[in-house]
Amino acid sequence: MMPAGGTKVRIQGLSKSFHTNGHEIRVLENIDLDVRDGELVCILGPSGCGKSTLLNIVGGFLPASSGEVTIDGLPVREPDPRRIFVFQERGVFPWLTVEGNIGFGISGLPPKEKAARIAHYVRLVGLEGFESAYPQELSGGMKQRVEVARALAVNPDVLYLDEPFGALDSITRLVMRSELLRIWEAEKKTILFVTHDIEESCQLADRIVVLSARPGSIRRMVDVDMPHPRDLSSPGYLALRDSILEEIGLAHRI
Amino acid sequence: MNATRLDPARPADAPPLEKKPRALEAILLPAVTAGFLVAVWHAAVVLSRTDIFPSPLAVARGLGELASKGVLGTYVRDSLVRVGAGYSLALVLGIPAGIALGWYSGAARAINPVIQLLRPISPLAWIPVAIVLFGVTNSAAIFLIFLASFFPIVVATMNGVRNVPSMFLNAGRNFGLSAPALFSRVIFPAALPRVLTGLRVALGVAWLVVVAAEMIAVNSGLGYLVIDSRNAGKRYDLVIAAMLLIGLIGLALNLLVGQIERLRAVRWGFNVP
Amino acid sequence: MARPVATDSSHPRGRRARATRTLARALLPLSGIAVLVLLWDVALRAAGGPSQLLPRPLAVVLAIAELAQKGFLVKHVVASLFRVTWGYVAAVLLGIPLGIVLGWYRRGGMALAPLLEILRPISPLAWIPLAILWFGVGDISAVFIIFLASLFPLTLTAMNAVRGVELVHVNAGRNFGLRAPELLRRVIYPAILPQLLVGLRLSLGIAWLVVVAAEMIAVSSGLGFLIIDARNAGNRYDLVVAGMVLIGVIGIALDAMMRSLERSKALAWGYTAAFEADESRIDRKAAAGAAVVP
């Protein structure tokens, strides 16, 4: 487990409702959450519980209906390049090559430095040889890695990951999870990770925030006191997974 | 659940804390803009002291005059009847032709160049041909409208049938569908959204051509009104009144056909709300 | 029933057979036109022989040759292309920026789009009286008519293209700190380019279609003028049809030119490839009833 610093992201009394056709739909209710600097927090909940909405509000893409999000003590009003949001693989720009995408946020750098940074992150996510390929020619997993590399290239303090591995096949997903952990341990980012996958959250998180179904509110917080790499068949891991399964109300056997 | 679906009505540009436009604005905003433009038009006419170009009031009076003479309804009806006849004919002939061309790709390859060659030719250029074929009659006008809407219907139907994913066809065959069943249960529903789009475009074209068609010496219709009002006495108020009527009816037709695209059975094919 | 397919590469049938097939594929498009010409000729014979009102295909070819010989051919073609170019370029310069702004500022779009939708169904012909009133009889009026005819579809295409840009791309751009002008250049513009190019091609088609209407305004050159004049002055129907054929052929050439632009500009990221196969998707988004003409 990473040594955690002071509070990086603070969410206070956050609620959100949408108006559609005159109906008010409450999506999030009274969320309080502090994320420490360098912490990897998984926000876990069933589909439609508002976890993506929560992440979009924290990222500054949506306004909150009430409550506040502060980062380093400053309220969030709009998106900021110091905090990059990774949208599944759909956020990759189809009109740019792999290099063009990864270099998107660092266009202000001198060309040499930019090229070096791009090359570094191409290597980090294992896309050597695909530098001038267009997203259309890549698999879902490769596009996902392009997005992660694009985010990391601007050296943000915080990464927001919205079910980033949902569209991947199960093998690539496992590979990407250990990649993410490797990058996280090397670069010391604060990560907010939204998922509906219990196993995924147990494998990755320092802390798991379990949301209830709509309107989403925090149902339970679970500190995961297990070092990486985690043994997925150890009694501690299985106990953790089962306790969350139980929390969500699912049987242990199928 | 993902970011785009969170709030599809949200404008891409809205600063994060702005509220999205309300439904009322969809009516109010254009109404206010239209009112503003009419006011500018009025002011321009008054300030420039033109005695040829009519003010909005003169146009409204012109419309009133036509209505009181009883010709307004007749003209609208006659134009609609011509467009209806030409368009229906194009529908009846164009859809089967498009289906055949979509199915037999060899035929499509042979016919497509002919369609491409005829496409850029203005309905106006066909007027002499229409007159030679049908004389100076209502049929000549209907022929022009037919011609103009026939090609988009054929092309859209052809593309619709052609682009039915082979996966669907294979799935249909897999379930043992006979040829007619394959057509009615797979190809037709799969091609339908695209065909409907073609029908909408074609109706727009048919209505657009009504002026050209009514240049052929017929003596009723909104197109006739435009031409006649100018030639006989430079009645620009009536010219503009007729133009506005053509525009409004065109918009109404478009919205009407647009409603079909909202039916449940075809809504899956339209990604635009 | 099996879908008949012209090519079947799974069965090797020898070189000669393959060569024949290639030839057949090349000739097939021409055969359609050949059949049309043949039908035309046969129909005339059946109808009692060609006359001044009903020219044979050969008479039309001779008419084109006659025009070429007298030097009128180049004159008319150039005059028409000149008017279309000016009207179209003006429409592009005004319509595309306007459309982008209306797509970007949703309230602006809400305010103006319905008015554009009212103006769009009005035939360019109906504008002729106003064009003459404002610009007099001459080239400017003709150019204005072409300008108007291509302006509405271009504006609406650009507007709908911007509205269709994926929110996730805009958000990603904003996340990297882009403000409006940069966002426009680096996200919106590349995202709409494929649709824009298709829209440009379709509206050039419209501009060309309208040339006949525009040249009804007493100008004394151009293919539209040729058609009107050949009929009015002496019922030279061979020249009428010659003008129509020339318009058709040049229309195909313009279309092919714009298509090659689409390929060179946008195929790089393979977006257009999908669009090309799926043209009516563009029609639906961009045109929704626009004069995406026959």
Q: What is the pLDDT of residue C4?
A: 46
Minimum mean pLDDT range among A107-121, A204-218, B13-27: B13-27
Contact call for C294 and B109, based on CB within 8 A: no
Q: Average pLDDT, stretch C204-225? A: 86
At A137 the pLDDT is 85
Q: How far is CA B76 from CA A10, A74, C143, in A?
A: 65, 64, 30
Closest alpha carbon within chain A to B20: A19
Minimum-distance CB partner of B52 among C29, C133, C252: C133
Each residue of A10-35: pLDDT tens digit? 999 889 988 776 778 888 888 898 98
Predicted confidence (pLDDT) per residue in B202-242, tens digit: 998 899 888 888 877 678 888 888 888 888 777 888 889 99
Q: Which residues of B touch A62 (CB under 8 A)?
A: 6-7, 10, 16
- In chain A, the residue whose alpha carbon lies closest to the alpha carbon of B8 is A20
Cα separation, A53 vs A61, in Å, equals 9
Q: Dihedral angle at the C-alpha atoms of A62, A63, A65, A68, nearest 10 degrees? A: 120
**Residue in chain C nearest A100 by alpha carbon:** C186
Residues sharing a CB contact under 8 Å with residue C183, sequence separation 6 or more, in sequence order: C170, C173, C174
Q: Which residues of A touch C193 (CB under 8 A)?
A: 95
Distance CA A59, CA A151 (A): 13
The pTM assigned to this predicted structure is 0.79
Between C17 and A65, the higher pLDDT residue? A65
User: Residue A71: is its pLDDT beyond 60?
Assistant: yes
pLDDT tier at C92, thresholds 50, 70, 90: very high
pLDDT interval class at A160 (50, 70, 90) = very high
pLDDT of residue C289: 32
**H, E, C per residue of chain A:** CCCCCCEEEEEEEEEEEEEECCEEEEEEEEEEEEEECCCEEEEECCCCCCHHHHHHHHCCCCCCCEEEEEECCEECCCCECCEEEEECCCCCCCCCCHHHHHCHHHCCCCHHHHHHHHHHHHHHCCCCCCCCCCHHHCCHHHHHHHHHHHHHHCCCCEEEEECCCCCCCHHHHHHHHHHHHHHHHHHCCEEEEEECCHHHHHHHCCEEEEECCCCECEEEEEECCCCCCCCCCCHHHHHHHHHHHHHHCCCCCC
> Cβ contacts of residue B242 below 8 Å, gap of 6+?
B75, B222, B223, B225, B226, B229, C126
Answer yes or no: is pLDDT of B80 > 70. yes
What's the complex ipTM? 0.79
Residue A57 above 80 pLDDT? yes
- Chain B nearest-CA distance from C70, in A, is 23
B66 against A90, higher pLDDT:
B66
Identity of the highest mean pLDDT range in A138-152, A161-175, A183-197, B83-97: B83-97
Residues B161, C281 contacting (CB under 8 angstroms): no
Q: Mean pLDDT of all residues in chain B? A: 81
**Residue range C240-259: mean pLDDT, rounded:** 89
Residue labelled with tokens 């297990």: A226
pLDDT of C38 > 90? The answer is no
CB contact under 8 A, C176 and A84: yes
Question: Is the Cβ–Cβ distance between C221 and C79 less than 8 Å?
Answer: yes
Q: Do B208 and C291 touch (CB under 8 A)?
A: yes
Q: What percent of chain C has pLDDT over 90?
A: 18
Q: What are phi and psi of B121, to 5 degrees?
A: -85, 125
Question: Which of B65-79, C113-127, C140-154, C252-266 bottoms out in mean pLDDT, i.e. has the lowest?
Answer: C252-266
Q: Which of C174, C176, C271 sits opposite A104 (nearest CB)?
A: C176
- CA of A178: how far to CAs of A121, A182, A183, A237, C10, in Å? 16, 6, 9, 16, 45
Q: Which residues contact B95 (CB under 8 A, 6 or more apart)?
A: B153, B157, B195
Which one, of B158, B40, B142, lies nearest residue B110 by Cα? Answer: B158
In eight-state DSSP terms, residue B20 is P
Question: What is the average pLDDT across A162-174?
Answer: 80
Tell me the per-residue pLDDT of C101-119, one tens digit each, with 9 for 90 and over: 999 888 888 888 888 888 8
Q: What is the mean pLDDT of residues A195-224?
A: 86
pLDDT band per the 50, 70, 90 thresholds, residue C280: very low
